[in-house]
Structure 1
Amino acid sequence: MSKNIIITGTSRGIGFELVHLFANQGHNVLAISRNAQPVNNLHFENITSFAFDLCKSEDYKKVETFISKEWKTVDILINNAGTLLNKPFAETSFKDFEKVYQTNVFGVSEMTRIVLPFMNQNSHVVTISSMGGIQGSVKFPGLAAYSSSKGAVITLTELLAEEYKLTGPQFNVLALGAVQTEMLKEAFPDYQAPTTATEMATYIHDFSLNGNKYYNGKVLQVSNSTP
């Protein structure tokens, strides 16, 4: 049976691959990203895509309106959008921190809040975090804003699972290791990750569809390497 799936951060990398995977299976996908063009170029009837900025409160209304008019219910929300900043802490300004948290934490929180009323008992909210957000994991200089924001959404997920445990949906978070994406290349030009965006998207796709049967309020470390 086809599901209604919302994915953020779909213009490239893992998000773009996820849209493809779900659409090919016949699911309905709302793909939202600051740049809607790459997804629009796919020309699938079951994909809706529009430009969306997680930092603009008025853009969330667009999502609400779309769900109310077109779908009524949402089965899966994948909070995949993220921004990565690699900068020495001494040079990381208030504005820098604000920008990272605005997308990586506030965006996840607000998108989840907007979509929740349309979800049912068996719906699934999957948030993409990072190994850098895991306590006790290897940490890297320059990632103070990024990794701390990724730690924040892990705790947020645990809290939401507790708050909605009697009614659903289920909330889980995947802490990814290094994946070869444009975002990684921009932050670490010389690093070659062991996992491709397509490989990771396949794992997230399967987990989003089935993981909530086995997990709720959990963080899964999806990494075959350090980092």
Structure 2
Amino acid sequence: MKNIIITGTSRGIGFALAQHFAKNGHNVLAISRNTATIDNLNLSNITALSVDLSESSDLKKVSDFVNSKWDHVDIVVNNAGMLINKPFSELTEKDFIDVYKVNVFGVAAITKLLIPFMQSGGHVVTMSSMGGIQGSMKFPGLAAYSSAKGAVITLSEVLAEEYKESGIAFNVLAIGAVQTEMLEEAFPGYQAPLSAPQMADYVYNFALTGNQFYNGKVLQVSNSTP
């Protein structure tokens, strides 16, 4: 049984992943702004915590929970994301800031908060996108989102080097098209080859075992374009 923290659990991959961990006997702290979907599961070993990652003051709820309920954290899955689909000419500074607050600054803040609770063998998995991979196909309207997803790739690579003596691994999964609400926002009407539960199953196994094989790596998890 491991202690797992997952962000962005109200829908999509995060919602499916939280259930997967909980139903396999792990303790899960499910973080999202809206906790209703997790609360409705009524699973005894999953706790939903309402946290806005773009608000630094909200993060104290996470450290307070870990301090009072757990003595350590084994796995962190940075899954929360925000997407704005607009032509570059229409993107405002606020649009960029809003996307980066969740997709980059929020990832950095919660990772920094939780590292002191992690031990050798711990694993931080950050969910990125094929849109953040240098040289991959890019799509109009996703300048803020894709550039933010590229930023967290570099962040994870740096953290792997900075904390390599700690035994904590930092890896990134750059995923392709998965049938989620966010995909619909990016590519309206597109039918992805993978469902959220299918991708959650992959992430589940990688989070538990991937740190035995990888550190500071970016794995491209995609079988389609987009």
Give yes or no for TM over 0.5: yes
Q: C-alpha separation between the residues in 2 aligned to 1:187 and 1:139?
A: 12
* Equivalence map 1:59-70=2 (5 Å): 59-70=58-69
Within-5 A mapping of 1:148-227: 148-227=147-226
Give the C-alpha shift of residue 38 in structure 1: 0.3
1:186 positional shift: 2.5
CA drift at 1:168: 2.3
CA positional deviation for 1:107: 0.4
The question of 1:99 aligning with 2:98 is answered yes
Equivalent runs, 1:108-119 vs 2, <5 Å:
108-119=107-118
Mapped to 1, the partners of 2:186 and 2:217 lie a distance apart of 28
Shift of 1:113: 0.3
Partner Cα distance (1:226, 1:101) in 2: 24
Offset at residue 58 of structure 1 (A): 1.4
Q: CA deviation at 1:99?
A: 0.3
Contact 2:85 2:185 in 1 (8 A): no
User: Percentage identity across aligned positions?
Assistant: 65
Question: Do residues 18 (structure 1) and 31 (structure 2) align?
Answer: no
CA RMSD of aligned residues (A): 0.6
CA distance in 2, matches of 1:12, 1:222: 20
2:173 aligned counterpart, secondary structure: strand
Q: Which runs of 5 or more structure 1 residues have no equivalent in the other structure? A: none
Shift in Å, 1:85: 1.2
Residue type matched to 1:128 in 2? Answer: M
For residue 186 of structure 2, what is the amino acid of its counterpart?
A
Paired AA for residue 18 in structure 1: L
Which moves more between the two structures, 182-191 or 106-115?
182-191
Give runs of aligned pairs for residues 14-163 of structure 1, distance below 5 A. 14-163=13-162
What is the rounded CA distance, in whole Å, between the counterparts of 1:125 and 1:162 in structure 2? 13
Q: What SS class does the counterpart of residue 115 from structure 2 fall into?
A: helix
Query: What letter corresponds to residue 83 of structure 2 in structure 1?
Result: L
* Alpha-carbon shift at residue 187 of structure 1 (Å): 2.8
What is the TM-score of this pair, normalised by structure 1?
A: 0.98
Query: Deviation digits for residues 118-170 of structure 1, max 9, x if unmatched?
Result: 00010000000000000000000111000000000000000000000011210
Which residue identity lines up with residue 105 of structure 1 in the other structure?
V
SS at match of 1:194: coil
Aligned structure 1 segments of 4 or more residues deviating by more than 4 angstroms:
none
Q: What is the identity, as a one-letter code, of the residue corresponding to 1:127?
A: T
Matches of 1:88 and 1:186, distance apart in 2: 14
What amino acid is aligned across from residue 184 of structure 2 in structure 1? Answer: K
Q: Given residue 88 of structure 1, which amino acid in structure 2 is its aligned partner?
A: P
* TM-score (normalised: structure 2): 0.99
- SS of the aligned residue for 1:195 comes to coil
Within 2, Cα distance between the matches of 1:226 and 1:117?
Answer: 39
Q: Deviations over 1:26-64 (max 9, x none)?
A: 100000101011000000110111211001111110100
Paired amino acid for 1:51: S
C-alpha distance in structure 1 between counterparts of 2:129 and 2:73, whole Å = 25
Whole-angstrom distance in 2 between the partners of 1:142 and 1:58: 31
| Per-residue CA distance 1:165-215 (angstroms, 9 max, x = gap) | 011210000000011001111232211111110110000000000000000
- For 1:138, the aligned partner's letter is M
Q: Distance in 2 between matches of 1:173 and 1:128?
A: 6
Residue deviations 1:91-123 (CA, integer Å, cap 9, x gap): 000000000000000000001000000000100
Paired residues, number: 226
